[in-house]
Amino acid sequence: MTLEESREVIPMMETMINQIEEQQNLMAEMIQELQERDRQLLFFQEQNQSLKNLNSELRDAGIPSMPLPRPMTIHGMPCDSKSSMS
């Protein structure tokens, strides 16, 4: 490669490297957001299961309970552990 060719190629390569680094940073942010949503989903699934268990205990003890509300969703995904684990 001649010096002239290097002078043309090196700036293009630097630009490409910068773009790759920006994409990596964006991907890292997206992964963090997905992990946070996963943690929230797990929390809601556990909370939902605890409430179902409590409702069953009340029903077994003969104490009338309120009907279960419609299943919750987060970003269109059900929070019910049974539906997401099957």
The full DSSP string for 26-81 is: HHHHHHHHHHHHHHHHHHHHHHHHHHHHHHHHHHHTT---PPPPPPPEETTEE--H
What are 3-46's pLDDT values in tens digits?
888 899 999 999 999 999 999 999 999 999 999 999 999 999 99
Alpha-carbon separation of residue 37 from 10, 61, 70 (angstroms)? 41, 36, 21
DSSP, res 3 = H
Task: Tell me, yes or no, if the pTM score tops 0.75.
Answer: no
In angstroms, rounded to a whole number, what is the distance separating the alpha carbons of residues 58 and 52? 10
